[in-house]
Structure 1
Amino acid sequence: MEDTRAFIDFVLNQYENKKVAPWAIEFKENGRMIGTIDFVWWQPRHHSAEIGYVIAPEYWGQGLMTEAASAIIKLGFEKMELVRIQAKCFVENFGSARVMEKARMSFEGINRKAMYIKGKHRDLKTYSILKEEFVLLQKKEEDKAL
């Protein structure tokens, strides 16, 4: 409970200071908060950002995180003037990698020993999407709908 309170205080402080902060992901059917998604870093000067997300295990595999990731990518390109959005996951996190692929991000490579966690170094996969790729994919989808 103490960790939850600290997290809520952090998020509220970030919003009050106009800094990046997580958004809650709500399950539409019951209004329950099932995860978060955010820009874990944002560099306005370089027009780039990285997204991060987490979702409760009982909601894995339902396309919910792909929907949220696609929405935040759209927001980044259409409202924040980003030209590059990236995301990372542990190499063994196949579900997260699949979310990035379904959100139309391209695999860029593996950052070896990029994170030290729980006493060991971990490799990370990096995915990204560029604004011009996003615009082209959006246009293709619109043309298909006609």
Structure 2
Amino acid sequence: MQSKLTTDRLQLKIITSDDLDDIHHSHSLPETDRYNTLGIPKNKATTEAIVQQWLHQQRVEPVRHFSWRISDRNNQDFIGLIALHLGEERFRSGKVWYKLLPSHWRQGLATEALTAVLNFSFRALHLHRIEAGCATENIASVRVLEKVGMQREGSKRKVLPIRENWVNNYEYAILEEDWKAMYN
């Protein structure tokens, strides 16, 4: 398993149980919950159950789920999370999601982290397609997805349960050939 990815400013490391406090803090912030389907956890035990599920998924061979802690490369401060979940092997596809602490928004860090995960996906895993979705009102996430070369393929009406409301979702994807055209 690829346990660490690095960029100019970031280090992405596979999460461990030691990351629980940082993950719980990030999941508990109303700002990060604004477009998140998980909702704010009732307590730390709720977050721990989610983290334990991620850890279990990462131990299953072959690994089909990667959840990384995003940290500042210089001081290792927690910035957020990013994950890649692989689909059926024959389709060579995956789905990504990310969440950053509000203090790290608007600095290009989500774009940098997502670029690293896409690079890993296409170069190391030889995937064909990576997908992502975001609430239609989440303009910042739309910008990140488009900056890395993902194309909007459509939308779904009232598919995301967010804060007891159903909201619309944009569907994005990037193909291996798109990635190669941009980065080779």
Task: Name the TM-score class by shorter chain.
Answer: 0.7 to 0.9
Contact 1:44 1:82 in 2 (8 A): no
Aligned to 2:91: 46
Verify: 1:6 aligned to 2:49, yes or no: yes
Aligned to 1:15: 58
Question: % of aligned pairs identical?
Answer: 32
Separation (CA, whole Å) in 2 of partners of 1:123 and 1:80: 31
- Measured after TM superposition, the shift of residue 30 of structure 1 is 2.3
Aligned to 2:180: 135
Separation (CA, whole Å) in 2 of partners of 1:57 and 1:31: 17
Aligned to 2:73: 28
Contact 1:106 1:128 in 2 (8 A): yes
- Name the aligned partner's letter for residue 72 of structure 1: V
Cα distance, 1:4–1:116 mapped onto 2, change above 3 Å: closer
Aligned to 1:86: 131
Contact 2:64 2:87 in 1 (8 A): no
Bigger relative CO (Cα 8 Å, ≥ 6 apart) = 2
Q: Which runs of 5+ in 1 are unaligned?
A: 140-146
TM-score normalized by structure 2? 0.70
Separation (CA, whole Å) in 2 of partners of 1:38 and 1:75: 12
Contact 1:89 1:124 in 2 (8 A): yes
Verify: 1:123 aligned to 2:142, yes or no: no
- Please give the per-residue CA displacement for 1:13-35, whole angstroms capped at 9, x wherever unaligned: 22222340311101223211221
- Name the aligned partner's letter for residue 174 of structure 2: I
DSSP-derived class of the 1:82 partner: coil
TM-score normalized by structure 1? 0.86
Separation (CA, whole Å) in 2 of partners of 1:43 and 1:118: 31
Separation (CA, whole Å) in 2 of partners of 1:123 and 1:74: 29
Structure 1 residue ranges, 4+ long, deviating more than 4 angstroms after superposition: none
- Name the aligned partner's letter for residue 55 of structure 2: L
| Greater Cα shift, 73-82 or 60-69 | 73-82
- Name the aligned partner's letter for residue 56 of structure 2: N
- Name the aligned partner's letter for residue 98 of structure 1: R
Q: CA RMSD in A?
A: 1.6
Q: Which runs of 5+ in 2 are unaligned?
A: 1-43
Separation (CA, whole Å) in 2 of partners of 1:118 and 1:138: 38
Pick the aligned partner of 2:142 from 97, 114, 119.
97
- Measured after TM superposition, the shift of residue 56 of structure 1 is 0.5
